[in-house]
């Protein structure tokens, strides 16, 4: 009986997944897309005293894995971490891994957007891509990851009220609207994070099934 209870407890723990982000916008997007039957998604608010993860990796992959592994070890749950970067062709891939702090450590979205427009002033090539890396980590420390890419271009000025980050400036390939002009449902079907999460859900579905 003790063995059966232990197995049931382990299965219950396996069906919970901690989303390793304190960004409410990211959390909302992930919850909308990564919705697997029988899986309970938890946020950092569901735990006490989780460590703050310093995103000091040289790549998106390193940051995503670090977040997922750190919080999986701290919480005892499977954890899902992500890192996203905007890679602009004319800026040789910048801001890339520094996208969230492009205008400085304490900058906001508006400051990042303003700096990006200044850096692209006069540039003929405004092509860019969003790249999102999703990492899944276990309490043992084992981790794996997938990535999603959305190609597009940078608009001349911010447009739209939805989304966050560089969404008011990014026009996805095949569209005239920026991400910020699309509804959340429309954006999720084509976005880098949406594509990464769809791949993650397909590839890791068995990880959460009985």
Choose the catalytic residue: 13, 49, 82, 83.
83
DSSP string across 94-157: -EETTGGGTT-TT--HHHHHHHHHHHTTT-S--EEEEEEEEEEE-TTS-EEEEEEEEEEEE-SS
Three-state DSSP string of 39-101:
CEEECHHHCCCCCCCCCCCCCHHHHHHHHHHHHHHHHCCEEEEEEEEEEEHHHCCCEECCHHH
Neighbours of 83 (CB within 10 A): 28
Phi, psi of 91 (to 5 degrees): -105, 20
Burial class (CB in 10 A: 0-12, 13-18, 19+), 113: buried
Please say if 106 is a catalytic residue: no
Q: How far apart are CA 129 and CA 190, in angstroms?
A: 12
Give the span between the Cα atoms of 210 and 198, in whole angstroms. Answer: 20
Catalytic residues: 83
């Amino acid at each position: 009986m003790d063995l059966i209870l232990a197995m049931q407890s382990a299965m219950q723990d396996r069906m919970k997944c901690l989303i390793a982000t304190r960004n409410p916008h990211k959390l909302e997007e992930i919850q909308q897309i990564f919705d697997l039957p029988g899986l309970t998604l938890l946020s950092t608010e569901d735990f006490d005293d989780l460590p703050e993860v310093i995103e000091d990796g040289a790549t998106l992959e390193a940051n995503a894995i670090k977040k997922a592994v750190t919080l999986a070890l701290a919480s005892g749950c499977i954890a899902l971490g992500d890192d996203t970067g905007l890679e602009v062709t004319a800026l040789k891939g910048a801001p890339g891994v520094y996208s969230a702090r492009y205008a400085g450590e304490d900058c906001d979205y508006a400051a990042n957007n303003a700096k990006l427009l200044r850096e692209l002033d006069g540039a003929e090539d405004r092509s860019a891509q969003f790249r999102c890396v999703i990492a899944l980590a276990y309490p043992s420390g084992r981790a794996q990851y997938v990535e999603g890419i959305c190609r597009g271009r940078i608009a001349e000025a911010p447009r739209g009220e939805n989304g966050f980050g560089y969404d008011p400036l990014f026009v996805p390939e095949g569209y005239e609207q920026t991400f910020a002009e699309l509804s959340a449902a429309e954006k999720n079907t084509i976005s880098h994070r949406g594509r990464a999460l769809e791949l993650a859900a397909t590839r890791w579905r068995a990880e959460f099934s009985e």
